[in-house]
Structure 1
Amino acid sequence: MAKVRVRRKPMSEINMVPFIDIMMVLLVAFMISAPMMTQGVKVELPKTSSDNIALPEDKEVLIVSVKADGSYFIDIGSDRDKAVDLPSLTEKVGKVVSARPNIQVLIQGDTSVAYGSVVQLMAGLQNAGISHVGLVTDPMAVGMEER
């Protein structure tokens, strides 16, 4: 007796299980590492009891920081930790806003920064053509009294 071999047809479906497994591992890796990638200048923000303002998700944000010693920092490019002078900061922010007019500019000032430093920054930004500027604060804990 001769055995008859039955030929199988080639499978034309792609097995998606390994692909899904890899994507899930990447998703978890990015979810864990994303909070660690936030960069910026460490400032002690003033605490307020105001409500949070929700920005639209499609709106980009540019943060300009003022440290306690009055030095300015801008949260773009590779020189995020390098202090810049006010004229070059306003020039850079003006270029970014002219390239991306939908961007929201926020000022992040230290609690002990001189009021004049923040006013000079706001005036410089206004001279650069930026009319809407927001201030970043930390929410005050419930029941916490101001000192």
Structure 2
Amino acid sequence: MQYNKRKRKPVAEINVVPYIDVMLVLLIIFMVTAPLVTQGVKVDLPQASAEPLEDESKPPMIASINDKGEYFLSTGGEPSEDPMSATDLAVLVAAQLQIDPETPVIVKADRKIAYNYVIELMVLLQRAGAPSVGLMTEPKE
């Protein structure tokens, strides 16, 4: 009787079954927790004092919107008394920025106006060529 010893060659394959099990468990965990993370939470936003513009800076263009949704534009320190349409406001802002692109643009909105109107005004100013838009606030009491 002859005993044949066969030499076993090492197997160079990785067993991926445990990794697949772990990945499926992680997938299920993420699928369950993702909707919980994206829900909003009611918060009270903090009040803070904003720094005023420097005295040396150019006078800003102030695009205002009142509680009735009417637009106004103050340029060079001259307040506007007459309401204007959104297209007129955009044309005036674009013309002023063509003359002086460094002019700061600020939005002044009534506190009673809906947030949607403020965003629409900011988008209108951006399309008119304003590189950045600031928000005007009252000093903290």
Shorter-chain TM-score bucket reads 0.5 to 0.7
Q: Larger relative contact order (C-alpha < 8 A, sep ≥ 6)? A: 1
Question: Displacement, 1:55?
Answer: 2.6
- TM-score when normalising by structure 1: 0.58
The residue aligned with 1:73 is: 72
1:24-39 equivalences under 5 Å are none
- TM-score when normalising by structure 2: 0.60
The residue aligned with 2:50 is: 51
1:119-138 equivalences under 5 Å are 119-138=119-138
Cα distance per residue 1:38-72 (max 9 Å; x no partner): xxxxxxxxxx4233143351423111111011110
2:108 counterpart SS class: strand
Which entry has the higher C-alpha Rg, 1 or 2? Answer: 2
Amino acid at match of 1:96: Q
Structure 1: 5+ residue runs without aligned partners? 1-47, 142-147
2:113 equivalent to 1:98: no
Number of corresponding residues: 94
The residue aligned with 2:113 is: 113
Q: Structure 1 residues 53, 121: closer, same or farther in 2, change over 3 A? A: same
Q: Distance in 2 between matches of 1:49 and 1:86?
A: 31
Structure 2: 5+ residue runs without aligned partners? 1-46
Amino acid at match of 2:60: V
Question: Displacement, 1:79?
Answer: 8.0
Runs of 4+ in structure 1 deviating by more than 3 angstroms, as ranges, are 76-79
Amino acid at match of 1:64: A
Q: Distance in 2 between matches of 1:55 and 1:96?
A: 20
The residue aligned with 2:85 is: 85
Q: Verify the 8 A CA contact 1:49 1:140 in the aligned structure 2.
A: yes
Q: Distance in 1 between matches of 2:79 and 2:140?
A: 31
Q: Distance in 1 between matches of 2:96 and 2:107?
A: 15
Q: Percent identity?
A: 30
RMSD of aligned residue pairs (Cα, Å): 2.0
Q: Structure 1 residues 87, 134: closer, same or farther in 2, change over 3 A? A: same
